[in-house]
Structure 1
Amino acid sequence: MGILDALAGGLVVSCQPLPDEPDDPMRDPYVQARVAAAAVRGGAVAIRANGPADVAAIRAAVDVPVIGLHKHGTAGVFITPTAELAVGVAEAGAHLVAVDGTDRPRPDGRPFADTVAAVHAAGALVLADVSTAAEGVAAVRAGADAVATTLSGYTAASPRRDGPDLELVARLAAAVPVPVLAEGRYRDTGQIALAFAAGAHAVVMGNAVTSPLWITRRLVPATPAGARRRTR
């Protein structure tokens, strides 16, 4: 079975500390590897992870495909923004390397196709994170092996929304001949079902599964103590 075939119809769990929380206690490769192992035991078909250290630790701890990326910076193109970082993630053990596949300028000045070629030469596949259907089509033409809706709502070309972009999932599924991964603001089983109905090959969930910090922040406001904290 191929790497992408292994993802078909399944849940991919993203194991990443919150990017805006440098002191997140979960920010440790060993911890992320344990979280990933628990997710796989629960039925996850693959793991998505950030940074070579986490990718290597998780690859050693699980027997499912690992989607690796390397976030660098906080604005513009920051999901594996250069060919050099992409190759580093592949060399750390990622089966697929997630790369910003939008049409925005890349920090190294190289076209997306160059990064695709470099990752393929390193023995891994490329998952293009996009925000629009047009970007997805262009990424596939440049050689991407799969596309994900990860960046919908995070670029000037895509409106911000509270929930997942199911419309983009459907448009991509109809427009590209490669697997479409539904990612971005998926939080419950109902949304997962809707994504598959829209044509998703797999669904990626992150904070709602793997971040105690994120989950607790969403729950605390419903408590009397949380309400008092808001009024101070």
Structure 2
Amino acid sequence: MRKEDVLSKIKGGIIVSCQALEGEDLYRPEGGIMPLMAKAALNAGAVGIRAQGTRDIIDIKKEVNLPVIGIIKKGYDGMEQYITATMKEVDELVKTGCEIIALDCTMRPRNDGVSINGFIEQIKLKYPDIILMADISTLEEGINAQKAGVDLVGTTLSGYTSYSKGKNNGPDINLVKELTSSINIPIIAEGRIHYPEQAKEALNAGAYAVVVGGAITRPREIATRFVKAIK
């Protein structure tokens, strides 16, 4: 699918993040849960899926005909990045056929000594037709990611790096606004979007699309908010 077609499919909509890591309640070694989550998202009107790990991505793509943002979460010694951090993960994601690959595009040091710009250049040389989404935490990182050649910028990591400001309980709407006025590629609002009103606020702030995860697909997180509220 051409980049223009993929982007047109997700514009103005909700992308549902369907992920369960080992140790979480919905994780099963044999899989099977996340494709059902993706099917529910499709039937609800979602325009895309964000998924983690090759097994779940492949199974989800068999179940739903929606663009998939693929990631692989894996940590490495000597680097804080863990979202699609090396070419090994990129290679694995390309084989799944996911339409978009997201990666950590913060400017933190990498254990291979390559800058994030250099890593993006390596990816684009190997896969010139790839659609890349930059997961960033600050305006500076978003601007840099566009210069490096990514296709979309997501606020995914705002509040999850030691130096970013988005540490409150809600989404970083200010970062969405800053990015919208500073770069000219689609901005994907992601991170701590708990309520429909916040998703609408992000779109009104200039987001091209909105990723919602825990508020839809992590029942323990949802239940915990209810339990805390009544206490």
1:14 matched residue in structure 2: 17
Residues 38-57 of structure 1 deviation map (CA, whole Å, 9 limit, x = unaligned) = 10111010000011111111
Residues 153-187 of structure 1 deviation map (CA, whole Å, 9 limit, x = unaligned) = 01122122211000000111111111000000001
Question: Which deviates the most, 121-130 or 37-46?
Answer: 121-130
Residues 123-160 of structure 1 deviation map (CA, whole Å, 9 limit, x = unaligned) = 43100000011101101111111000000001122122
Paired residue for 2:61, among 45, 54, 59?
A: 59
Paired residue for 2:177, among 159, 170, 176?
A: 170
Distance in 1 of aligned mates of 2:229 and 2:137: 32
Contact 1:11 1:205 in 2 (8 A): yes
- 2:106 aligned with 1:102: yes
Over 3 Å counting, the alpha-carbon distance change for 1:62 and 1:118 in structure 2 is farther
Distance in 2 of aligned mates of 1:61 and 1:52: 14
Q: Which runs of 5+ in 2 are unaligned?
A: none
1:195 matched residue in structure 2: 202
1:221 matched residue in structure 2: 228
Partner secondary structure for residue 210 of structure 2: strand
2:82 matched residue in structure 1: 78
Deviation at 1:216, TM superposition (A): 1.6
- 2:7 aligned with 1:4: yes
Deviation at 1:116, TM superposition (A): 3.0
- 2:189 aligned with 1:186: no
Question: Which deviates the most, 156-165 or 32-41?
Answer: 156-165
Distance in 2 of aligned mates of 1:16 and 1:87: 20
1:157 matched residue in structure 2: 163
- TM-score calculated relative to the size of structure 2: 0.89
* TM-align CA RMSD: 1.9
Distance in 1 of aligned mates of 2:224 and 2:81: 27
Partner secondary structure for residue 48 of structure 1: strand
- 2:214 aligned with 1:207: yes
Contact 2:121 2:148 in 1 (8 A): no
- TM-score calculated relative to the size of structure 1: 0.88
Over 3 Å counting, the alpha-carbon distance change for 1:41 and 1:118 in structure 2 is farther
1:198 partner letter: A
1:184 partner letter: G
Q: Which runs of 5+ in 1 are unaligned?
A: 228-232
Deviation at 1:214, TM superposition (A): 1.6
2:23 partner letter: P
Deviation at 1:61, TM superposition (A): 1.2
- 2:143 aligned with 1:137: yes
